[in-house]
């Protein structure tokens, strides 16, 4: 089985071959239950429930804690149910760290705190770096970032400070999404 690392946690990618919709319901319910451990009620959680779990679609969860809007999405797996599983496992790892006293609730909030327009921001970041929307390989993103940053650095001939700032911001947005 393949393993991915997200926000410092190793997550084993699932191999789901049947009962897609049933499993998606189980993962949604598990997300509700795990978030209860940090004081988040079900009515403070927003997840899509009207989606065919077999088809390709990103999975995302938005929830509110101590006045903060928290959000996480994943879209690299081939099926919505697999993406939802990965979202669940990451949230589970972070909640368990809070419950075990390894992280504070403030650190938990910092991991998932996102702006309302984060998806649009990520799309714009990819456009600024000149990479396709489906690119999620940090090595590719870093290489493109370094190339553009070098060309646009204000200390270089033909450098552009505003473009350099935009490139740096775009890299930060994608780094936060993928690491």
pLDDT confidence of residue 172: 86
User: How far is 14 from 178, CA to CA, in rounded Å?
Assistant: 19
pLDDT confidence of residue 137: 78
The answer to whether 108 and 38 are in contact (CB under 8 A) is: yes
Query: Check: CATH 1.10.287 for 118-178?
Result: yes
pLDDT in tens, the chain (179 residues): 688 888 888 899 888 889 999 999 999 999 999 999 999 999 999 998 878 888 888 999 999 998 888 999 988 888 999 999 999 999 999 999 999 999 999 999 999 987 777 778 888 888 999 998 877 778 888 999 999 899 899 888 888 888 989 988 888 888 877 66
- For the chain, residues classed under CATH 1.10.287 are 118-178
The answer to whether 74 and 58 are in contact (CB under 8 A) is: yes
pLDDT confidence of residue 51: 82
């Amino acid at each position: 089985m393949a393993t991915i690392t997200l926000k410092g946690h190793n997550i084993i990618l699932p191999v789901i071959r049947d009962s897609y919709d049933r499993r998606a319901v189980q993962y949604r319910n598990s997300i509700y239950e795990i978030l209860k451990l940090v004081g988040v009620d079900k009515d403070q959680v927003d997840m899509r429930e009207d989606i065919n779990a077999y088809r390709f679609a990103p999975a995302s969860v938005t929830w509110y804690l101590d006045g903060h809007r928290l959000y996480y999405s994943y879209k690299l797996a081939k099926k919505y149910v697999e993406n939802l599983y990965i979202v669940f496992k990451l949230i589970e790892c972070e909640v368990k760290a809070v419950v075990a006293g390894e992280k504070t609730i403030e650190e938990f909030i910092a991991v998932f705190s996102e702006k309302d327009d984060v998806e649009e921001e990520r799309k714009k970041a990819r456009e600024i770096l000149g990479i396709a929307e489906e690119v999620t390989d940090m090595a590719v993103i870093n290489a493109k970032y370094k190339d553009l940053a070098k060309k646009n650095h204000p200390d270089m001939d033909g450098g552009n400070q505003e473009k350099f700032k935009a490139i740096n911001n775009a890299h930060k947005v994608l780094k936060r999404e993928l690491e």
